[in-house]
Amino acid sequence: MSDSGRGFPRLVPIPERRLIYAAAAALALSVLGLLWAPSRAVAFAADAILVGAAALETGLFLSRPRPRFAAKETALLVEGVEEDLLVRVENEGDESLEIEADLDLDFRLRGGKSRRVLAPAGGIAELALPILPERRGPARVESLRWSAPGKLGFLRFAGTGVLGLGIFVRPAAPRKAVTAAVARVSKSQGDSPAASLGQGSDFYSLRDYARGEDSGSIDWKASTRVGRPVSRLRVEEGSASIALAIDCGRLMRAEKGGRSAMDEAADALLVLAQAALRRGDSIRALAFSDKVLAELPELRGPSSLRRAAAFAARLDAAIVDPDYAAAAARLRRTLTKRSLVVFLTEVSETAPLANLEEAVSSLSGRHATTVVFLSDAGLEAAATGASSCESEAATYRTAAAVELIAGREAARSRLQRRGARVVVARPGLLSGRLVEAYFAAKRERRV
């Protein structure tokens, strides 16, 4: 329970409509007193009564205990879904008190209209205040703004109630993103959508029809589409293990279009988790910066997606460079069977990537490794924007962008020589590219 008297401002009197009307009448009498002497006494009396009433009401309100507020702990909020935050209002006074309140929120959250509640004398009332999460991640509800009328109805008194509530906002359900990724894979690879979604234990891909094969294996729709006979190849698949290592270093704080690279990574984790769990595979995750920050234990079955969402909501980037070797060391100790290990990182700078190459080398012998680079569309645009008409500063920016991209491509080649598959994804496409990389690893029987 927190005392509403804390914070700034402590208590502010706000004139009600009744006081405004009375003040207007007193002003009119004062003006009349300037024109007609006998009315001056009446005007002075009215002013004195008005000031006295306001002072009396202020004194009466200050003499009573102030309301106290406490927010009930809430479960995970979902990005983009409005919910009510329940606030308990305790009135220790000997008279009931009508309180109007709204929330003071941080940048990840947006509040709605203020709401009112009647707190009984010496009792407790519950106030439901609307809250709309707009950004994934940890957020805080530090305080609420409240007001209550005085006894005489001339003034309304406003104050601040300290809540200090920490909450987490998880990404919205990724079903649409999974479906879109599966559709892209099915279209480009010729995979059966049902198999790609994990319905059944078999996986189908398409290949050219060979003379002598059973004609029942021919996929007539695909054959019509490509202009030659193709047949379905049936491959038995078993349960695979996926481990996603998420970079939470300083470069993941960069924002484009109101979303950070960390937000993109959280969405990608949920999309990959849903695709893998629905397919019967297991998934675990690890968040790291210059050390291992948090781990998501191995999950199995679609019902485990809620735990992945809770983990994604708590992801936050630190102002340090990532230590990929520390993450790889933890994965080597944790993974007991061959797994698909995916490093998800941002590469607008290439200096930290030498550490990544060592980490990949330490894992590639036993595990299938994939590195997903979250690229910067602005960087690539700058690299192709040079012209003779540009300013000297623009030319330097273009040269720097070209150098960074060349360094990224060189690192990509070195990682591939060490046995890793490398995927480059732009913001907004990360989730789909990550699921595509997972499907490719399954199709190629790497896990």
* Domain that residue 284 falls in: 239-443
Q: Which residue has the higher pLDDT, 36 or 120?
A: 120
| Residue 180 in domain | no
What is the secondary structure of 129-160 as a DSSP string? EEEEE-S-EEEEEEEEEEEEE-SSSSEEEEEE
What is the per-residue pLDDT for 196? Answer: 40
Q: What does the alpha-carbon distance between residue 101 and residue 123 come to, in Å, rounded to a whole number? A: 18
Rounded to 5°, angle at Cα 135 from 99 and 145: 15
**Do 127 and 224 sit in the same domain of this protein?**
no
| Residue 415 in domain | yes
CATH number, domain containing residue 289: 3.40.50.410
**Do 418 and 348 sit in the same domain of this protein?**
yes
What is the per-residue pLDDT for 31? Answer: 64
| Distance set, CA 251 to CA 206, 243, 349, 355, 374 (Å) | 40, 22, 8, 15, 10
**Do 218 and 357 sit in the same domain of this protein?**
no
**Do 256 and 163 sit in the same domain of this protein?**
no
**Do 27 and 83 sit in the same domain of this protein?**
no
pLDDT tens, position by position, 381-434: 666 664 445 566 777 777 777 777 777 788 888 888 888 899 888 877 888 888
| Residue 176 in domain | no
Q: What does the alpha-carbon distance between residue 398 and residue 386 come to, in Å, rounded to a whole number? A: 6
**Do 72 and 58 sit in the same domain of this protein?**
no
pLDDT tens, position by position, 62-117: 778 888 898 877 667 877 788 888 899 999 888 888 998 988 887 778 888 888 99
Considering the chain, what is the average pLDDT of its residues?
78
Residue range 275-286: mean pLDDT, rounded: 91
pLDDT category, 212, cuts 50, 70, 90?
Answer: low
| Residue 115 in domain | yes
Q: What are phi and psi of 339, to 5 degrees?
A: -135, 165
**Do 254 and 330 sit in the same domain of this protein?**
yes
| Residue 421 in domain | yes
Among 121, 154, 170, the domain-final residue is 170
List Cβ neighbours of 434 (8 Å cut-off, separation of 6 or more). Answer: 268, 271, 272, 342, 344, 372, 423, 425
Q: Where in 17-123 does DSSP place strands (E)? A: 68-71, 77-78, 83-90, 97-105, 109-111, 115-119
The structural domain count of the chain equals 4
List residues bridging with 292 in a β-sheet. 288
Q: Which residue has the higher pLDDT, 202 or 258?
A: 258
pLDDT tens, position by position, 327-373: 999 999 999 889 999 999 987 776 667 788 889 989 988 899 999 98
Residue 335 tokens, joined = 């993974």
User: What pTM was estimated for this model as a whole?
Assistant: 0.64
pLDDT category, 200, cuts 50, 70, 90?
Answer: very low
| Residue 298 in domain | yes
CATH number, domain containing residue 91: 2.60.40.10
**Do 30 and 137 sit in the same domain of this protein?**
no
pLDDT tens, position by position, 284-337: 999 999 999 999 999 998 888 889 988 988 888 888 989 999 999 999 999 988
**Do 223 and 292 sit in the same domain of this protein?**
no
What is the per-residue pLDDT for 264? Answer: 87
| Residue 370 in domain | yes
Among 120, 153, 170, the domain-final residue is 170
**Do 272 and 148 sit in the same domain of this protein?**
no
What is the per-residue pLDDT for 214? Answer: 66
What is the per-residue pLDDT for 38? Answer: 66
**Do 139 and 244 sit in the same domain of this protein?**
no
**Do 268 and 329 sit in the same domain of this protein?**
yes
What is the per-residue pLDDT for 288? Answer: 95
